[in-house]
Amino acid sequence: MRRRGFIGLGLCVAAGMSACTGDAFYRRVETLSDDQWVRGKACTFEVEAVDTVTRYDVYVDLRTSDGYPWREIYLIGQVCDTAQSVLQCDTLRCELFDAKGEATGHGLSNVKENGVLWLRDFRFPAPGRYGFSVRHGMRNVELQGVSSVGIRIQMSEIQ
């Protein structure tokens, strides 16, 4: 009986994790050493695009622990084309903890994952290689409690 409960729990967790990922066109994660993000260090992801018609939603995926000392994090996202020209630069705000100090992300332990919508209905202007980079915009030199940063690009629901 107990074994059946563990199997059921495992299936629920697996189903939940697969439901969160959706049909991602692109998904990459960069793990940060020692669970800290050094100021000025950009996490850069290269995407090969061939489709210029389809619209995509671009998310920044953060994995943080309860060792992160603030309620929110500010991110600076930048998209560059094949000629390294900046197409777009945005500042994003992500609330990691609510007013009561409870983590807002998903996860079963003290490590939580948050997905922040960065670009809605984004279209690649031309086929080619694009660079998506994310760095933190906090004042601290090193942010403790940030273990990974990722980019997820999936088809927009609006086509």
pLDDT in tens, 116-126: 999 999 999 99
What's the whole-number mean pLDDT along residues 136-140?
92
Whether the CB-CB separation of 20 and 146 falls below 8 Å is answered with: no
pLDDT of residue 22: 61
Backbone angles phi, psi at 2, to 5 degrees: -65, -40
Instruction: Tell me what the mean pLDDT of segment 61-86 comes to.
Output: 95
Q: Which residues of 62-91 are buried (b: 16+ CB within 10 A; e: fewer)?
A: bbbbeebeeeebebebbbbbeeeeeeeeee
Take residue 66 and report the two structure tokens written for it.
């309860």
Look at residue 21 and tell me whether its pLDDT is greater than 70.
no
Secondary structure (3-state) at 105: coil
Q: What residue ranges do the domains of the chain occupy?
A: 23-155
Backbone region of residue 102 per phi and psi (left: phi > 0; alpha: psi in -120 to 50; beta: other values): beta
**Beta-bridge partners for 68:** none
Q: Which CATH number fits domain 23-155: 1.10.260, 2.60.120, 2.170.140, 3.10.20?
A: 2.60.120
Averaged pLDDT, 4-16: 40
